[in-house]
Amino acid sequence: MIAIIDYDAGNLKSVEKALKSLNQEVIVSRDSSEILQADKVILPGVGAFGDAMNNLDKFGLVDTIKEVTRKNTPFLGICLGLQLLFDKSDETPGAEGLGILKGEILRIPPKEGLKIPHMGWNSIEIKPQAKLFKDIPNQSYVYFVHSYYLKAQDEQIVAASTEYSTHIHASVESGNVFACQFHPEKSSDIGLQILKNFSEL
């Protein structure tokens, strides 16, 4: 059973639909006991960092997420769900993130000829042995929608990166915690393979 955390922040249905197309049993929930009992947990998200943290707090999910990651349940953050795993973001100065991983969430710097938000397909440089990218060719294209990006403190946790105005840490893996800045549920067959790899962990 895979639990998708519902905290009123975006792309739940597309993630649920993608997992169901892989014949996974899925629940969408904000019930802490249901989430803690799940075999795997996904934190999706679109929207602003501060608003999302307020919602997680309001629904009593901050401690739930920390407990899930502590007890070695495979956990996947998607898009804003990746950013929330870190301490803070330029998007909402003063707002505290979950602080599960170390790094900075920075605004993508403006560059002539490039639009921000970064919206569209980009190829990713995949690290060998990255579990989320098993059977996925290096330089595969995935779908991004974001104005802020991760610069992880520890390069060792970076599983994939991309270039868009700057060097972007596009995916991380640390023990049982996985996250993608891009949207696997919108990334066609490559994205489905990523979700399949996660569901088979």
Q: Within 10 A of 139 (CB to CB), how many other CB atoms are there? A: 10
CA terminus-to-terminus distance, the chain:
12
Q: What is the model's pLDDT at position 114?
A: 95
**In the predicted model, what is the mean pLDDT of residues 175-190?**
98
Total number of domains constituting the chain:
1
Q: What is the model's pLDDT at position 174?
A: 98
Q: Is the pLDDT of residue 148 over 80?
A: yes
Q: Count of H helices and E strands in the chain?
A: 6, 12
Task: Name the catalytic one among 173, 180, 183, 200.
Answer: 183
Domain that holds residue 7: 2-199
Among the listed ranges 10-19, 20-29, 101-110, 171-180, which one has the minimum average pLDDT value? 10-19
Nearby residues of 3 by Cβ (< 8 Å), 6 or more positions away: 26, 27, 28, 29, 34, 35, 38, 40, 41, 42
Active site includes 173? Answer: no
User: Domain with 166 in it: what CATH number?
Assistant: 3.40.50.880
**In the predicted model, what is the mean pLDDT of residues 104-123?**
96
Continuous segment of H or E residues that includes residue 81: helix 80-83
Rounded mean pLDDT of the chain?
A: 97
**In the predicted model, what is the mean pLDDT of residues 130-136?**
98
Active site includes 180? Answer: no
Q: Is the pLDDT of residue 175 over 90?
A: yes
Q: What is the model's pLDDT at position 156?
A: 97
Task: Name the catalytic one among 79, 91, 118, 146.
Answer: 79
Q: What is the model's pLDDT at position 64?
A: 98
Q: Is the pLDDT of residue 9 over 90?
A: no
**In the predicted model, what is the mean pLDDT of residues 146-153?**
98
Active site includes 79? Answer: yes
Report field, pTM of the whole predicted structure over 0.95: yes
Task: Name the catalytic one among 16, 91, 173, 185.
Answer: 185
